[in-house]
Amino acid sequence: MKFNITKKHIIFLIVFAILVFVGRRINFSPIIGAENQFFTLFQFIGPIAGAFLGPIVGAVSVLFAHGTDYILAGKAFTLINLIRLTPMLFAAYYFGARKRFTGKIVGVIVPAAAMIAFMLHPVGREAWVYSMFWLIPIFIALLPVKQSNNLILKSFGATFTAHCVGSIAFLYTVGMTPDAWMALIPVVIFERTLFAMGIIGSYVGMNAVLHYVADKFNVPADVLHIDKNYLLSKLFKAKA
């Protein structure tokens, strides 16, 4: 898969890194089972990079943003920090690759592999119901392109893709009982719904801002992908 990073890509990578730097400092909810660790507003921002920059460059931008954040904040590259990095890479790819055949393959294989890995673990085997969440991104990926590229659906698919990757990393590195995993089910439903709504809001807002920037500075469509179907003017017009 070919991709070229231009100077304008670099500019948007820097802008995105700044957004991540700010978003990671606004806590949203604590991560149960991890002391003094929190989900942040980055959960809302991270996946949308794949939509604007393409799945590969979008994932690279997430990696770049995390690395910049660690360096500027003087954070250590601890195991828990690395665990928190990986899920968003997959979420950004999932969110940005909905129209591609390879994106559909990744959208199925990653959560399916996570389900298998969860059930193979002694603890996960006793809480296998928890892994049924990851049928959501699989189901969405298998839908026809028009439906699977729906903003609401792909936002849920992206956040549950991040969830499956993060859960597996957590399962194999942090000890939790089967009962603890089962008790998380209602929490996951609530949190992931809010995360999906946050992704939708972030995408619509950023889409409007970048449409203005792209139009003003004549940014080519192959550099920055703007979906005019989700411009605020069209959304309000559709409601009217």
pLDDT digit string, tens, across residues 149-199: 889 999 999 999 999 999 998 898 877 899 999 999 999 999 899 899 989
Please give the pLDDT value at position 135: 97
Q: What is the pTM of this model?
A: 0.82
> Coil, strand, or helix at residue 1?
coil
Torsion of CA 52, 53, 55, 56, to 10 degrees: -170
Res 12 pLDDT > 80: no
Q: What percent of the chain has pLDDT over 70?
A: 75
The per-residue pLDDT of the chain, averaged, comes to 80
The pLDDT value given to residue 101: 65
Residue 155 tokens read as 């936002």
Q: Are 69 and 20 in contact (CB under 8 A)?
A: yes
Mean pLDDT is highest, among 37-46, 56-65, 130-139, for 130-139
What contacts 36, CB < 8 A, 6 or more positions away? Answer: none
- Phi first, then psi: give them for residue 93, nearest 5 degrees: -65, -45
DSSP state of 99: T
Q: Is the pLDDT of residue 209 over 50?
A: yes
Q: Which fold has domain 7-217?
A: Arp2/3 complex 21 kDa subunit ARPC3 (1.10.1760)
User: Which pLDDT score is estimated for 64?
Assistant: 76
Q: Is 27 helix (H, G, I), strand (E, B) or coil?
A: strand
Q: How confident is the model at residue 1 (pLDDT cuts 50, 70, 90)?
A: very low
Q: What are the DSSP E strand ranges found in 11-119?
A: 27-30, 38-40
One-letter amino acid for residue 84 of the chain:
R
Amino acid at 87: P
Average pLDDT value for residue range 232-240: 58
Between 19 and 111, whose confidence is greater? 111
Identify which of 80, 105, 51 has the alpha carbon closest to the alpha carbon of residue 172: 80
Q: By C-alpha distance, which of 50, 54, 52, 49 is closest to 17?
A: 49
Cα gap 24→20, rounded to integer Å? 6
Instruction: Please report the sign of the dihedral spanned by the C-alpha atoms of residue 204, residue 228, residue 234, residue 152.
Output: negative
pLDDT tens-digit series, residues 77-125: 666 666 667 888 899 899 988 666 667 788 899 999 999 999 999 999 9
